[in-house]
Amino acid sequence: MTVHPDYPDPRMIPDDVPFEHVCEVCGKTESLTSTEAYAAGWDYPPQMYQWGVVSPRTCGRCGMDATVWWALMADRKQLEDLTPEQLATVDRIRNEIPD
Ligand SMILES: [Zn+2]
C-alpha cells in the first residue's frame, strides 16, 4: 500500500498535499498535510523520522512507548517476538518507499 496513490515515492509528496496518516497504536487514520499533522501532534514522516525506516507512526494522543520501534529499540525484542499486528506495522513502514 502506498502512502499516496499519486506518489509512489512519498518523498515526492508536496507539502500542501494531504496524505493518509495511520496511527500504529490506536489505528486512527487521518488525511492531513505533513504540516497539519505535525501541528496536531503526529509523529510521522517527513516532519519526524524517515519514510521506509521503522520509527514511530503515532497520532497526537498516542505515545511512542507503544510503538513497534519502541518494542525493538527499548524492549530489545526480535522480529519473531512481535505480535502479528506489530509485524504488519513493520511491513507497512517498509513498504512506504518503493524498492
Ligand atoms: Zn493514536
Rounded to an integer, the average pLDDT of 14-25 is 97
pLDDT value at position 82?
A: 97
Tell me which residue range forms the domain holding 56: 18-94
- Residues in Cβ contact with 53 at an 8 Å cutoff, skipping those fewer than 6 apart: 93
Q: How far is the CA of 30 from the centre of ligand 1 (A)?
A: 10
Q: Is 76 a residue whose pLDDT tops 80? A: yes
Q: Is residue 45 part of a domain?
A: yes
Ion ligand 1: residue ranges with CB closer than 5 A: 23, 25-26, 28, 59, 62
- Position 65 in a domain: yes
Task: Give the chain's domain count.
Answer: 1
Of 89, 64, 84, the residue nearest 75 (C-alpha): 64
Q: Which amino acid is at 96?
A: E
Assigned domain for 13 exists: no
Q: How far is the CA of 24 from the centre of ligand 1 (A)?
A: 7
- Sign, CA dihedral 34-40-41-42, equals negative
Cβ contact 9:98 at 8 Å: yes
Q: How far is 69 from 35, CA to CA, in rounded Å?
A: 23
Is the pLDDT assigned to residue 6 strictly greater than 70? yes
User: pLDDT-derived band of residue 2, with 50, 70 and 90 as boundaries?
Assistant: confident
pTM as predicted: 0.92
pLDDT band for position 28 (cuts 50, 70, 90): very high
Instruction: Reply yes or no on whether the pLDDT at 1 is more than 80.
Output: no
